[in-house]
Chain A
Amino acid sequence: MAKFITRRLAHAVLVIIAATFLIYLGLFTLGDPFASSGEKTVPPEIQEALRAKFGMDQPFFMQYLTYLQNMFTFDFGIDFEQRRDVADMLATAVPATARLALFAIIIEVIIGLTAGIIAAVAPYTFRDVFITIITTLGIGIPVFVIGIGLRAWLSGEWIFPAVPRSFTVETPWWQEIILPALTLAILDAAFIARLMRGSMLEVLRADFIRTARAKGISERKVIGKHAFRNSIIPVVTYTGVSLGVLLGGALITERIFEYQGLGYLLVRAISQHNNPVIVPIVVFAVVVFVLLSTLVDILYAYLDPRIRLH
């Protein structure tokens, strides 16, 4: 097991290093942030001055090393538009996104597992078909259509705050988070329900379930304990990966509900070609995604020892 963990971690580190290199190469070398673009014209001497100020007149590898060093010390520089400290901007956006991601995960796991178990316990009945139809729709309808629909129908009603927010009304964070979290949760909940249904159906056919029933254990215990524990592994895997994606910022959902998280920041930074903001967010998203995927692989190997042999 130790060997497996070391190998996976080493692999993750290598992938992260390669990815950060590509991000840097792509954003700072191929796309010149100081070039004139559209209505914005920048005189050549000012371009030179800006390059010198941001250290971009240095050779490429020096730039890259400086960038790596700064990433490690959480020194992200200042953004090109308003000259604010990027670290400060991230300090408020990261917790907001993390809160949203956790909320969404909790909702999707509860709904997904319940629906999946209900469907698997009575396969091919009306309930099962109904849940299958709902999950098909949940997976088929794109996130931004769900988000737009929820915003159109629910924002401004009952406890849901209006979007765009009015700055005179103070909204508690939990009210602000409900609709975006629900939007994010729907797709994954549908997916989890399908995964759970499939793996539970398979487990319920296993011999040990028959043995448990033959011993006279109540159906409740057979499903809730024996079958549940053995069919949850794919859901754990999927949830981990999904958390990894969500923590990197939910671009579309945050945009729709004007939720001030990483995704919102990133989309705005992109429209302004604001590289000092784009780079740390993308690096963060990649690092979190890779680390969580690795963690999921390790967890999977722990839960199912057969994996380690490969």
Chain B
Amino acid sequence: MTTPPQSGREPDTHVPAEALMTRFEAPDPDSTETGPKNGRRKNGSTGQFKEIWRRYKRNKLAVVGLALVIFLMVLAILQPWITPFDPMEQNPINSRNPPSARHWFGTDILGRDMFSGIVYGTRLAMIVGWSVMILSLVVGLALGAIAGFRGKATDSIIMRITDIVLAFPALIGAILVVQIFGNGIPQVIIALVILSWPTAARLMRGSTLSLRESEYVEAARSIGASDTRIVTRHILPNAIGPTLIYSFSHIGVAIVAMASLAFLGIGVPADIPEWGTMIAKAVPSLNVEGEAHMWMFPSLAIVITTLAFAFVADGLRDSIDPKLR
């Protein structure tokens, strides 16, 4: 299945670049002067990163997103010192309390402090989001590069595997994997990696295919460079862009996927304070006066997180590969 309209479970990967534009300003004049592919300059990689950063910070929304992501990361790392209460500690006498000076975000149905729970949930979300991103990126890059570079049987086997994985609607696929491996955060991470590497692999394969026949690769081969060297030193740095952008935009998707599973009571143990389980626990109180804090705060946490990662991903897309816009 190499035709452009790939059955799109990850719609954002094959949308016309125009449609993904969230920048509100007029198209910037600089995009035409960036020179060679991927904004590469002769003065090496430091110059390239500087160039990317220069383009990145022009997108105000992306800068806000980056600040939020850094904030969330700090929150996640410092969680044990930030939370005023033990996020697991139950206190049935104080259940469903509205926000107060003692409990900033109120307490949940089991009397646990919601603020501590949400900060703990941030830690979980960051762990799961980043692990899924890094693992699926590594697997996708490796298999995609092998498929694209080797071609022939290796290529078709790897691509047929991606076809089969992509035949499952995302949430249903994740549920199946969790059903097989059992409940737990590591299992959820495995499930999400299994479902997200195929898209990364396809993107990487596409870029590898287009670079394989390029003149500089031929030049490297002619001076006797080994296959491994050609792939890791010559193809990978130039082909990684689209895959990296996909993987980054997938962090938010992975966080939402975990919260969705947790909301349905699948995969994430119910006693762990996770945003999805917190919202699920608040469902009976949805129409009860004075208990809205139980679903509003975790919902807000998810929305802020997904928007922050989406803004950063958009900014990266614009700055890493201006041609994609």
Complex CA–CA separation, A31 to B175 (angstroms):
13
Instruction: Give the size range of B's interface with the partner.
Output: 35 or more
Does B16 contact A199, Cβ atoms closer than 8 Å? yes
Does B256 contact A142, Cβ atoms closer than 8 Å? yes
Contact indicator per residue, chain A 231-275, by CB within 8 Å of chain B (1) or not (0):
000100110010011001101100110000000001100110000
Which of A11, A14, A16, A293 has most B Cβ within 10 Å? A293
**Given A156-B287, A270-B179, A293-B7, A15 contacting B16 (CB threshold 8 A):** no
Contacts of B3 in A (CB 8 A): 297, 300-301, 307, 310
**Given A124-B26, A155-B287, A27 contacting B171 (CB threshold 8 A):** no
Contacts of A30 in B (CB 8 A): 180
Does A16 contact B306, Cβ atoms closer than 8 Å? no
Contacts of A301 in B (CB 8 A): 3
Contacts of A297 in B (CB 8 A): 3, 5, 7
Complex CA–CA separation, A270 to B264 (angstroms):
10
Which residue of the partner chain, among A132, A141, A238, A248, contacts B8 with CB atoms under 8 Å?
A238
Which of B169, B264, B266 has most A Cβ within 10 Å? B169
Does A199 contact B18, Cβ atoms closer than 8 Å? yes
**Given A234-B15, A270-B266, A132 contacting B179 (CB threshold 8 A):** no
A290 to chain B, nearest CB (A): 5
Which residue of the partner chain, among A198, A241, A290, contacts B21 with CB atoms under 8 Å?
A198
B292 to chain A, nearest CB (A): 7
A271 to chain B, nearest CB (A): 6
Complex CA–CA separation, A194 to B15 (angstroms):
9
Which of A27, A152, A255, A297 has most B Cβ within 10 Å? A152
Does B306 contact A195, Cβ atoms closer than 8 Å? no
**Given A15-B163, A301-B3, A148 contacting B259 (CB threshold 8 A):** no
- Of A85-93, A215-223, A281-289, the one contacting chain B is A281-289
Q: State whether the Cβ of A43 lies closer than 8 Å to any Cβ in chain B.
A: no
Does A251 contact B264, Cβ atoms closer than 8 Å? yes
Contact indicator per residue, chain B 285-312, by CB within 8 Å of chain A (1) or not (0):
0110000100100010011001100100
Which residue of the partner chain, among B180, B265, B292, contacts A27 with CB atoms under 8 Å?
B180
Does A142 contact B306, Cβ atoms closer than 8 Å? yes
Complex CA–CA separation, A293 to B7 (angstroms):
5
**Which 3 pairs show the lowest CB-CB distances between chains A and B?**
A198-B19, A293-B7, A198-B18
Chain B residues near A (Cβ < 8 Å): 1-5, 7-9, 11, 15-22, 24-26, 160, 163-164, 167-169, 171-172, 175-177, 179-180, 252, 256, 259-260, 263-266, 276, 279, 282-283, 286-287, 292, 295, 299, 302-303, 306-307, 310
Q: A156-B287, A289-B169, A307-B5 are in contact. List 11 more A-B contacts (CB 8 A).
A: A18-B164, A23-B176, A141-B306, A142-B260, A142-B302, A144-B279, A148-B279, A191-B11, A199-B16, A267-B264, A271-B266
A-B contact pairs, 11 of them (CB 8 A): A27-B176, A142-B259, A148-B286, A156-B287, A194-B15, A199-B18, A238-B11, A251-B260, A252-B171, A285-B168, A289-B167
